[in-house]
A and B are shown apart, each in its own frame.
Chain A
Amino acid sequence: MTLIATESLTKTYGGGVTALADLTVAVEPGIIGLVGANGAGKSTLIKILLGLLAPTSGRVRVLGLDPTTDSAQVRARVGYMPEHDALPPDLSAAELVTHLGRVSGLPRTVARERASEALRHVGLYEERYRPVGGYSTGMKQRVKLAQALVHDPDLLLLDEPTNGLDPAGRDAMLALVHRIGTEFGISVLVCSHLLGEVERICDTLVAIDGGRLLRADHISAMTSAIDVLAVEVSEGIEDLAARLAALDLPVRRDGRLLLVELVDDATYDLILGAVAELDLPLHRLDQRRHRVAELFATREPSHA
């Protein structure tokens, strides 16, 4: 089943601002990273998926439903965590999440139970009875996640879930999102402007820029066969490059580094052998995993 599918989706706000332009993308269930700079159209896309905004043109399907006509059915099966502050300070997390669970249609006692469960899953225990106003940013983000989870959705839409968190908090939040996507059996769409974050946890990556699709693919397809070894020698870099080329190794020069594609473990031996034969002072030999960012970086000149 296709989780989310859009077809030539376009959204133009009054005043001629184009938020989404001819976006066609289809993703399978799993953890999906939606990346793009601020203003790329991520939040607009989420609002269209929730049926809160009507697209100017094009078609969209979420969980096989059309959010422009069946918005209530879509929203019953989707949990949404907004980007900005969304918690009334004088309610306790337990009360707020229980109330929102009831608004999602859960019976009263079920709402209370599931609110406790959801808060426990995101790591809030006794403090859930205290007013939210006294919570740290990290705890507030967890409450926002818990309220999106309380009605057991099939899809979570998380808008910048790591916003405002310190590095440890980011890691914890990402681990939690990963757990929800893998152990809970709930598909997750994570929005972020930080590619390095989402690429760590998602199976599928959708990159948009200026409302247009840059690329959408499985993360494995994006990162496979691009592991490279970085070799740094303090002198004789040309000699080494020539020698490695003679050994049929694809070599690229990158400043003071030589980048050699890693085929198998034998590649290490070939490089070390070449360095030893030329008697060069070796500074560094390490494996480098291509970050997805580099894939987009090389595409950007053609885009701009």
Chain B
Amino acid sequence: MPEPTGVIHDIGYQRYTGPRLGRRAVFGALYLHGLRTAFGLGRSAKAKIFPWLVVGIVTLVAAAATAVRSQIGEVVMTYAQFADNMSWLVIFFVAVVAPELVSRDLLSGVLPLYFSRPLPRSDYPVAKLLALATALWLLLGGPQLVMFLGAAFTGGDGMRGVWNELLDLLPGLLYAGLWAAVFASVGLLVASLTGKRAFAAGGIVAVFLMTTPIVGVLSIMPSQTINELAFLASPSTLVGSVGAWALGDLLGPQASVPIGGFGPVYAVAAVLLVAGCVALLLQRYRKVAAR
């Protein structure tokens, strides 16, 4: 170990007598760290490429839609439709970011360093989950805000136009929140099962994409009830169906999903899916912490 030649005065070890923050501050630190990690902030340039590529694409799409609307006056997509149209990108974003948030920690063995600190065991997964959900919501909500600003201030209807746009925007943001909640909880649960990032990413894509053919098969079964419930089989169609039921024409007539009168069933299913994933996630970390 070469001794440093510069002047470093060893003032000795200093005991710390200042404040020690409580659970909320610690949870906040974990949450913010997770949110920064999701976008590759404070990480290597390599970790920034993918998240910002996705952010760039969605922003570009929103800007293009806004431009078309202000020039031609034709609404290319509503705020709520935006989330639907971006679902593929959201899946890939989750597949990259969720393993970054949890699988990496599992593989590197850093978890004992967290669990030997005062935070309760459940705070770690919950903070990570909220961070991922927030990242997804920002990913879908940010471009909607761009569309809103573009539409509201080029419409020429004055304050009334802005107000009408706002009434359209808010359901869109709520719908983005539903996408974020479902995709974050499912994605994070899958990622928490393995320390290998590639496996985790593959698993997440598989859960979201491989379930789509099941929907296809069920929707051509010779029973109308099965057809109308078919969209429960895949997270993306589940979210889309809840949207179709709750938002109706905001998603546009062409996007309407034939779910019959089962709308409330879909809403309950979405809530149960999120709750189930969170419960399993907490269960998983109860086991991991004791290792």
Name A100's contact: one of B16, B47, B117 (CB within 8 Å).
B117
CB pair B116 A184 closer than 8 Å: no
Interface residues of B in 10-67 (CB under 8 A from A): 12-16, 18-22, 25-26, 29-30, 33, 42-44, 47
Interface residues of B in 107-123 (CB under 8 A from A): 108-110, 112-120
Task: Enumerate chain B residues within 8 angstroms of A103, measured Cβ to Cβ.
Answer: 26, 29-30, 114, 117, 119
CB pair A184 B22 closer than 8 Å: no
What's the nearest-Cβ distance from chain A to residue B39, in Å?
15
Task: Enumerate chain A residues within 8 angstroms of B44, measured Cβ to Cβ.
Answer: 90, 131
CB pair A85 B15 closer than 8 Å: no
> Does B289 sit at the interface, judged by CB under 8 A?
yes
CB pair A50 B116 closer than 8 Å: yes
What's the nearest-Cβ distance from chain B to residue A198, in Å?
21
Task: Enumerate chain B residues within 8 angstroms of A125, measured Cβ to Cβ.
Answer: 4, 8
> Does B268 sit at the interface, judged by CB under 8 A?
no
CB pair A110 B16 closer than 8 Å: yes
Known: A76-B118, A88-B105, A100-B117. A105 touches B25 (CB 8 A): yes
CB pair B18 A107 closer than 8 Å: yes
Interface residues of A in 95-154 (CB under 8 A from B): 95-96, 99-100, 102-108, 110, 114, 117, 120-121, 123, 125, 131, 147, 151-152
Known: A89-B108, A151-B16. A105 touches B113 (CB 8 A): no
Task: Enumerate chain A residues within 8 angstroms of B4, measured Cβ to Cβ.
Answer: 125
Task: Enumerate chain B residues within 8 angstroms of A151, measured Cβ to Cβ.
Answer: 16, 20, 117
What's the nearest-Cβ distance from chain B to residue A234, in Å?
45
Q: Which residue of A lies closest to B47 (CB)?
A: A90
CA distance A89 to B107 in the complex (A): 10
CB pair B108 A75 closer than 8 Å: no
**Number of residues from B at the complex interface, CB < 8 A:** 38
What's the nearest-Cβ distance from chain A to residue B127, in Å?
10
Task: Enumerate chain A residues within 8 angstroms of B33, measured Cβ to Cβ.
Answer: 99, 102
CB pair B115 A90 closer than 8 Å: no
CA distance A75 to B115 in the complex (A): 9
CA distance A107 to B269 in the complex (A): 41
What's the nearest-Cβ distance from chain A to residue B134, in Å?
18
What's the nearest-Cβ distance from chain A to residue B138, in Å?
21
CA distance A88 to B112 in the complex (A): 12
CB pair B109 A106 closer than 8 Å: no
What's the nearest-Cβ distance from chain B to residue A178, in Å?
13
> Does A82 sit at the interface, judged by CB under 8 A?
yes
> Does A87 sit at the interface, judged by CB under 8 A?
yes
What's the nearest-Cβ distance from chain B to residue A106, in Å?
7
Task: Enumerate chain A residues within 8 angstroms of B116, measured Cβ to Cβ.
Answer: 50, 52, 75, 78-80, 82
Task: Enumerate chain A residues within 8 angstroms of B72, measured Cβ to Cβ.
Answer: none
> Does A196 sit at the interface, judged by CB under 8 A?
no
Q: Which residue of B lies closest to A86 (CB)?
A: B109
Q: Which residue of B lies closest to A147 (CB)?
A: B113
Q: Which residue of B lies closest to A172 (CB)?
A: B1
Interface residues of A in 193-213 (CB under 8 A from B): none
Known: A52-B115, A107-B21. A88 touches B110 (CB 8 A): yes
CA distance A123 to B2 in the complex (A): 10
CB pair A52 B289 closer than 8 Å: yes
- Map CB proximity to B onto A138-178 as digits: 1 under 8 Å, 0 otherwise: 00000000010001100000000000000000001000000
CA distance A95 to B41 in the complex (A): 12
CA distance A129 to B1 in the complex (A): 17
CB pair B108 A88 closer than 8 Å: yes
Interface residues of B in 242-291 (CB under 8 A from A): 289-290
Name B104's contact: one of A47, A88, A152 (CB within 8 Å).
A88
CA distance A79 to B118 in the complex (A): 11
> Does A185 sit at the interface, judged by CB under 8 A?
yes
CA distance A231 to B4 in the complex (A): 47
CB pair B112 A82 closer than 8 Å: yes
The 10 tightest CB contacts between A and B, nearest first, are A80-B116, A152-B16, A105-B20, A102-B29, A184-B13, A88-B108, A72-B118, A76-B118, A105-B21, A82-B112
Not counting A87-B109, A102-B26, a sample of 17 additional A-B residue pairs whose C-beta atoms are within 8 angstroms of each other reads: A52-B115, A75-B118, A79-B116, A82-B109, A85-B109, A86-B113, A88-B108, A99-B33, A103-B29, A104-B20, A105-B21, A105-B118, A106-B21, A123-B1, A147-B113, A180-B13, A183-B12
Interface residues of B (CB under 8 A from A): 1, 4, 8, 12-16, 18-22, 25-26, 29-30, 33, 42-44, 47, 104-105, 108-110, 112-120, 289-290
A-B contact pairs, 29 of them (CB 8 A): A47-B290, A52-B115, A52-B290, A72-B118, A72-B120, A76-B20, A79-B116, A82-B116, A84-B109, A86-B110, A86-B113, A87-B110, A88-B104, A88-B108, A90-B47, A95-B42, A99-B33, A100-B113, A103-B26, A104-B26, A105-B118, A106-B20, A107-B18, A107-B21, A108-B29, A152-B16, A180-B13, A183-B12, A183-B13
